[in-house]
Amino acid sequence: MAPSSSHAQTTLDTVDRPSWTPVVALAAGIAMLVASEFLPASVLPALAADVGVSEGVAGLAVAATAIAGAVTAPSIAVLLPRTDRRRVLVGLLVVGSVANLAVAVAPNFVVLLAGRLLLGVAIAGFWSFAFGAGLHAMRGRDRAVSAALSFGVSLATVIGVPVGALVGDAIGWRAAFGGAAVLGVLAAAGIARALPSIPAHPSAGIRMLREALRHRRLMAGVGCVVLVAFGNFAAYPYIRIATERIDADSTTWLLLAWGLGGVAGTVLAGVAAVRLRLLAAAAPVLLGVSLLVAATASTLPLLAVAIVVWGFAFNMVPVATQLWVTRVEPERVESAMSLQVTAFQVAITIGSAAGGVLLDSYGVGTPLVVGAVAAVAAGLGFALLRVPAAAR
């Protein structure tokens, strides 16, 4: 009887222990898409020269992706209310690969811009569905799922962007986008294999979105997401200028330090999310403080501390806000996530544009200060909003 009981217990433990494979596959997918989103920044001078536009115009390739994402995030579930979510996620990664391939072979800027718009559709759609798919695969482990997906984003910014620059310098910018297309197909194959079939929620579609939009606390939180993301992206596109103001020779390692701080922030956020209201409030405030210090720093050590804390604080925000919107609206996770993604994409577009205007008019310190004010305001907003308790 003892061996039989032992075997039964082992079987039970195996059944109860969730598999990380689907979540790892989802994290790899989002890492590929995010790396693709910021790839133009790695190869901008060569890209601009090859398609015959200025570097400023070529920079629209990133803004176009965010604009397409802002439109796609709230609408994709409305257009695909009953489609199996695994099929949608695989399809979106394939769309992302087609988008990168279009950029790789683009004969002119119009085709390149079309490819970037298509990538925005893939990124926003994938983000909107990935968290719900991860929860389906690992029920009751929302903090782990959110941290894993955000870790994929952090990894993409720390590794993907520098690797893209190296490939672009060694082989050419078109090869960098071609490689991203191939890796996207591999990520799609991984999700097709690792993820179980995920039926759509019975109320998915326009009804779910309409009900989420009527949820006042959710919409107040989405407003706070816009504020904190605006605060970061009013400043982040100009981080290199901020570092060169103090020490141009230290720029590379300071950018790496930002990324490493981001990885640490993502990991810690998954642990600290057990106190979600505190995390959602503290991360934006810490971001605001780091931006203010970066704006006023006059020495390299102080700037380095500010940069690391900046990366640390901001990369806690996606984990905190994903969990916040889905805890507030647990019955409409897809719509809650789509609104969070929309908030980020709108903030990226408006924040980077406003930061550029402030930079040209007043210098690099001003966008950092404005970003700091917006981030602190977001933190205060989250502190005032109650979040329901949930199982770990």
* Domain assignments of the chain as residue spans, ordered by start: 19-200, 204-392
**pLDDT of res. 12:** 43
Do residues 157 and 38 touch, judged by C-beta distance below 8 A? yes
Q: What is the pLDDT of residues 161-209, one digit of tens each?
A: 678 778 888 899 999 999 999 999 999 999 999 998 888 765 556 777 7
Do residues 218 and 329 touch, judged by C-beta distance below 8 A? yes
Q: By mean pLDDT, which of 113-127, 139-153, 188-202, 345-359 is the weakest?
A: 139-153
CATH class for the domain made up of 19-200: mainly alpha
CA 22 to chain centre: 19
Q: What is the pLDDT of residues 98-115, one digit of tens each?
A: 999 999 999 999 999 999
Question: 197 phi and psi, to 5 degrees?
Answer: -65, 135
3-state secondary structure 199-255: CCCCCCCHHHHHHHHCCHHHHHHHHHHHHHHHHHHCCHHHHHHHHHCCCHHHHHHHH
Rounded to whole angstroms, how far apart are CA atoms 238 and 234? 8
Within 10 angstroms of residue 238's Cβ, the number of other Cβ atoms is: 19
Domain at 204-392: CATH code: 1.20.1250.20
Do residues 91 and 122 touch, judged by C-beta distance below 8 A? no
* Tokens at 108, concatenated: 């002119």
pTM of the model: 0.79
Virtual CA dihedral for 347, 256, 295, 357, nearest 10 degrees? -40
Q: What is the pLDDT of residues 17-42, one digit of tens each?
A: 567 888 999 999 999 998 898 788 77
Q: Per this entry, what is the length of the chain? A: 392
Is 204-392 the same fold as 19-200? Answer: yes
* Tokens at 72, concatenated: 């796609």
